[in-house]
Amino acid sequence: MSNSNKEYLLDFEKPLFELEQKLDEMRTINMTAVDVDLSDQIQALEQRVDELRTSIYKNLTRWQRVQIARHPLRPYTLDYISSLTTNFEELRGDRSYKDDPAIIGGFARFLGSEYGSKDRTIMILGHQKGRDTSSRKHRRFGMPNPEGYRKALRLMKLAARFGKPVVTLLDTPGAFPGLEAEERGQAEAIARNLLEMARLPVPIIVVVIGEGASGGALGVGVGDRILMLENSWYSVISPESCSSILWRSWDHKEDAALALKLTAPDLTRLGLVDTIVEEPIGGAHRNPAMTTQAVGRSIAAALDELGDSSDTDLITRRRAKFDAMGAYDTSGNGKAHSTSEAPNKVATSD
Amino acid sequence: MDWFKRQKKGIQTSLDDQIEVPEGHWTKCAGCAEIINQRELSENLMVCPKCDHHVRIGAIDYFNILFDDKQYTTFDENLHAIDALEFVDRKSYKDRLTDARSKTRMNDAARAAVGNIGGHRTSVAAMDFSFIGGSMGSVVGEIVTRAIRRAHDEKLPLIIISKSGGARMMEGALSLMQMAKTSANLAHYNELGLPYISLLTDPTTGGVTASFAMLGDFHFAEPSALIGFAGPRVIRETMGQDLPDGFQTSEFLQERGFVDSVIDRRQLKNRITNVFDLLITDGNT
């Protein structure tokens, strides 16, 4: 890890960071001092670093994954657009009230040929967070107002009119809980998107790239394929809010993260996610380029599976996909229904 | 207008269907603090005769108010929630379910029925706040979805009565996906050209508002109901200021254009019947 990441170091990354620093020092000494040879020690330390990294990242708690999903150096929607597409033509505004910078989108040329498929025009849109204080405020921390959802819907309908597939990237701590958002119908805007996305006559691929908080995420999250990055989270509520409501205190966010079963492997077990996109070891922020490429390969594969054009069965299959989601017991016939029996795939990042 | 005079025989509440009211019991109205006779309140469809405050009522109460001669068939009463997440907070979800079932004698927070309303056979789903705050998990989502599908397959008009704190936390993302599932089925139902009336009652918030409750062809709301997406406390914390009077009420939503009509519970059946008469039998009753 480079030193520039130090200020963003997560607690559980610290022992690894310290060891890596020591390794860097030894390498420097080995290179500059003529009379010492530390090769053996360096090799041993490298092995220890590898082992520690593996043991940390293969045994992440759910709360640790939430922290990785929120890492400020994690790739955001615009990073995916710039690395996976060319010729991005951004579209702004809901044509009714205003633009919302918390959701960004437009037509672009997806570089599918680099990921085992073909280049094609897509509509790509998603939540956008900021990188510094002023852009975070400008983008409202990726929390859309109703006009953001209405803009997204306008863009998706435009995609349908031109017969282009839609790719949506989910990364939000939730829809903005503000007074004006309520006045302008936050709930109606999200609800409308759920209904319209369910019947959009072009393929929709949804990728949870960071935080998938509740209706604020689902508002651009109905599709034919649901992909989830290995260290993203997706649930009905954030661990903090869940803690505040059920424990009546903000102190139980780790317990809440555990209880909510909000990770990609959890959602796969529950039958709610089709593909887990593996991240580089250490998380997406450690190697953003590798992460965006892994996502690119998964999008390319999903687009190939679904085909370019609209399909008469597409909407029926999409509805059936969501119809199957749920876990309940029909004690009448003694058979429990659960989506968790559905088969799932894991996409690898190598 | 005379609130006490019933215009149709169908909404007369017979004694055996009344919300358990032993004679001679009195209650203090939460709206005006007047002392009211329980039986009088019940006969008035649980609307305070003094101040028109609408007391929260259950799914069965709405069925009895709406269906002609209180005749209806219920569906999907065999659906039971399961604890797929093994969710534990200060109490386990399993225990919450057990307690809620024994307290309410319901399986979950919604019921579905089919019957006639003003002579129109109608598919109805109604939520019940007494079961874990009317929250929507897999069972509620499935009951609502099946009520929509039933309306679609039998070509019936549809009513969904919302009364909910939102999606149920204890089923995590499974609850969240019920929003998409119900909405997708409404998209399918929309193709038929039959009316879907969404009735919003106190309270309708969170994931229920942000899915089927806001997707009606008609949005009817009971007076002074709390209706919103985010809870008032969360918004207050976000804004760092007090919220204006009447914010997130039925009347506020009507003014902002998200509710068509705020309707007194005692007029509900007539107004619904009117919509069905206008659209299904082309005005000929």
- Residue A270, chain B, CB below 8 Å: the answer is yes
More confident residue, A207 or A310: A207
Closest to A330 (Cβ–Cβ): which among B79, B173, B256?
B79
Structural contact between residues A299 and A347, judged by C-beta atoms closer than 8 angstroms: no
The sign of the dihedral angle between the CA atoms of B256, B259, B261, B263 is: negative
Please state, in angstroms and rounded to a whole number, the distance separating the CA atoms of residues B283 and B269: 16
Residue of chain A whose alpha carbon sits nearest to that of B181: A322
The 10s digit of each residue's pLDDT in A214-235 is 999 999 999 999 999 999 999 9
B218 pLDDT exceeds 50? yes
Q: What pLDDT is attached to residue B125?
A: 98
Reported as type and span, the H/E element at residue A12 is none
The candidate with the shortest Cα–Cα distance to B99, out of B125, B77, B81, is B81
A1 pLDDT exceeds 90? no
The 10s digit of each residue's pLDDT in A254-295 is 999 999 999 999 999 999 999 999 999 889 999 999 999 999
Does the distance separating the beta carbons of A262 and B171 come in below 8 Å?
no
B239 pLDDT exceeds 90? no
Please state, in angstroms and rounded to a whole number, the distance separating the CA atoms of residues A50 and A301: 31
Q: At what angle do helices A146-161 and A186-198 cross, to 10 degrees?
A: 20
Q: What pLDDT is attached to residue A308?
A: 57
Pairing of strands A166-172, A120-127: parallel
Mean pLDDT of A100-118: 97
More confident residue, A203 or B16: A203
Domains of chain B are 24-55 (no CATH), 57-279 (3.90.226.10)
Q: Is the peptide bond before A173 cis (omega within 30 degrees of 0)?
A: no
More confident residue, A285 or B238: A285
Task: Kindly report the pTM of this predicted structure.
Answer: 0.93
Chain B residues touching residue A247 (CB < 8 angstroms)? 89-90
Please state, in angstroms and rounded to a whole number, the distance separating the CA atoms of residues A199 and A189: 16
Interface of A with B in 162-221 (CB under 8 A): 175-179, 181-188, 190-192, 194-196, 198-199, 214-215, 218-219, 221
Mean pLDDT of B129-137: 98
- Output the average pLDDT for chain B: 92
| Reported ipTM exceeds the 0.85 cut | yes
The candidate with the shortest Cα–Cα distance to A52, out of A96, A79, A16, is A16
More confident residue, B86 or B9: B86
Token pair of A328 as six digits: 């309940």
Distance from CA of residue B100 to its chain's centroid? 18
- Output the average pLDDT for chain A: 92
Contacts 24+ apart (CB under 8 A), B187-193: B187/A195, B187/A196, B187/A198, B187/A199, B187/A319, B188/A198, B188/A199, B188/A319, B188/B148, B188/B152, B189/B148, B189/B149, B189/B151, B189/B152, B189/B158, B190/A195, B192/B152, B192/B155
| Distance separating the N- and C-terminal Cα atoms of chain A | 20
Interface of A with B in 280-339 (CB under 8 A): 318-319, 322-323, 325-332, 336, 338-339
Token pair of B118 as six digits: 């003003």
Q: Which of B80, B86, B87, B89 to mutate to test the interface with A (most CBs of A within 10 A)?
A: B89
Please state, in angstroms and rounded to a whole number, the distance separating the CA atoms of residues A172 and A102: 9
A348 pLDDT exceeds 80? no
B17 pLDDT exceeds 90? no
Q: How much of chain A is helix, strand and coil, in % rounded to 5?
A: 50, 20, 30
Share of chain A above pLDDT 90, in %: 85
Residue B237 makes CB contacts below 8 A (sequence gap 6+) with none
Does the distance separating the beta carbons of B181 and A325 come in below 8 Å?
yes
Does the distance separating the beta carbons of A215 and B210 come in below 8 Å?
yes
φ/ψ region of B240 (left if φ > 0, alpha if ψ in -120 to 50, else beta) reads left
Does the distance separating the beta carbons of B213 and A196 come in below 8 Å?
no
Q: What pLDDT is attached to residue A196?
A: 98
Task: Give the CA radius of gyration of chain B.
Answer: 19
Please state, in angstroms and rounded to a whole number, the distance separating the CA atoms of residues B210 and A323: 18
Please state, in angstroms and rounded to a whole number, the distance separating the CA atoms of residues B132 and B127: 11
The 10s digit of each residue's pLDDT in B142-176 is 999 999 999 999 999 999 999 999 999 999 999 99
More confident residue, B80 or A346: B80
- Beta-strand (E) ranges in A148-283? 166-172, 204-213, 225-229, 233-235, 275-277
B10 pLDDT exceeds 50? no
